[in-house]
Amino acid sequence: MSLSPHQPVAVFDSGVGGLTVLHELLVSLPAEDYLYLGDTARFPYGERTQRELRAFALEIAEHLLEAGAKLLVVACNAASSAALGAIERHLEQGGRDVDVIGVVAPATQLAVAGSRTGRIGLLATPATVTSGAYERAVRAADAHVQLESVACPDLAPIIQRGFPFDAHVLDTVRGYCAPLREAHADTVILGCTHYPLVAPMLQRTLGRGVTLVTSGAGVARSAERALAARGLLNPRPTEGEYRFQCTGEVDLFRALGTRFLQMPLDQVSRVELDAGVAASAQGAPA
């Protein structure tokens, strides 16, 4: 079945962090309709195995395709690192010609292009660091760039729980940033979509001369190019609609999500995902 410009762009994440990516999409491509899914019942993804992450991502991708998505945006670093190739193969095997955009490549390209010294830092979840996806992406972009990766197991859950932050959180952030300061990184990739919410704290800790790179702007540009290449940009002259789904508690998602998106979250519904897709994915290659 052919795709229509009037179908929605689908975005998913393990929780509400991907709303920082959705925010960039809403600003850059306001005419599009969007469907966002947060897998809050299984948050956080950062401690999951690569096999689990591939299974979860395929479940969600299938759900969003059935909802009519014309483009899939994997707005989760852990899922992008572990499952982007698996999703693409799943779509190809099913004969569905839908583009999939992750967050690793756009952020890496911005960081490599913007680094003055060739010393880049990465703050990410353990699953993202373990996957080696950023190391491979940096090496592919420029073999002479050095990457210092720091796994931050506590940071996304702290942010997901909401504000305010206390002295313990500040000490946690300082501990994660210390290796990057020692490595003299001049550019740091925020390798989790939750982290932009603490960008001011990170900037103060790392120093004003360090450039923080997030994936949102790069993802928006990639999405626009992908849609334009297929003639799928929505031609409407007015703003599109956006709606939300989550696998956990709706009221909690709405309350916390409003802070991340910086826009109202009106249409939120709870969904159950099809475990059958996950079961068939257990043997999927990395």
Active-site residue flag, 192:
yes
List the one residue out of 239, 201, 244 whose CA is nearest residue 13.
Answer: 244
Residues 6+ apart with CB under 8 A from 183: 119, 121, 146, 148
The active-site residue, picked from 152, 177, 192, 246, is 192
Q: For a pLDDT cut of 90, what percent of the chain falls above it?
A: 81
Q: Which of 76, 152, 177, 246 is catalytic?
A: 76
Grade residue 275 by pLDDT with cuts at 50, 70 and 90: low
Q: How do residues 36-71 score in pLDDT, each as one tens digit?
A: 999 999 999 988 999 999 999 999 999 999 999 999
Residue 138, pLDDT > 70, answer yes
Contacts of 70 (CB under 8 A, 6+ apart): 3, 4, 5, 7, 8, 9, 98, 227, 232
Which pLDDT score is estimated for 274? 77
Question: Annotated catalytic, 76?
Answer: yes
Could you list the beta-strand ranges (E) of the chain.
9-13, 34-38, 71-74, 99-101, 119-124, 146-151, 187-191, 211-213, 242-246, 268-270
Residue 197 has pLDDT above 90, yes or no: no
**Is the confidence at residue 124, as pLDDT, over 80?**
yes
Question: Can you tell me the mean pLDDT for 209-228?
Answer: 95
What was the pLDDT predicted at 42?
A: 95
pLDDT confidence of 281, banded at 50, 70, 90?
A: very low
Average pLDDT rounded to a whole number, residues 15-32: 95
Q: Which domains are assigned to the chain?
A: 9-102+217-281 (3.40.50.1860), 104-215 (3.40.50.1860)
Rounded Cα–Cα distance for residues 97 and 92 (Å): 7
Cα–Cα distance measured from residue 50 to residue 195, given in angstroms and rounded to the nearest whole number: 21
**127 pLDDT higher than 90:** yes
Cα–Cα distance for residue pair 277/270, rounded to 1 Å: 19
Q: Greater confidence, 283 or 2?
A: 2
The number of residues making up the chain comes to 286
Q: Which pLDDT band holds residue 277 (cuts at 50, 70, 90)?
A: low
Provide the β-strand partners of residue 120. Answer: 147, 187
What is the mean predicted confidence (pLDDT) over 233-253?
A: 96
Q: Is the pTM of this model over 0.85?
A: yes
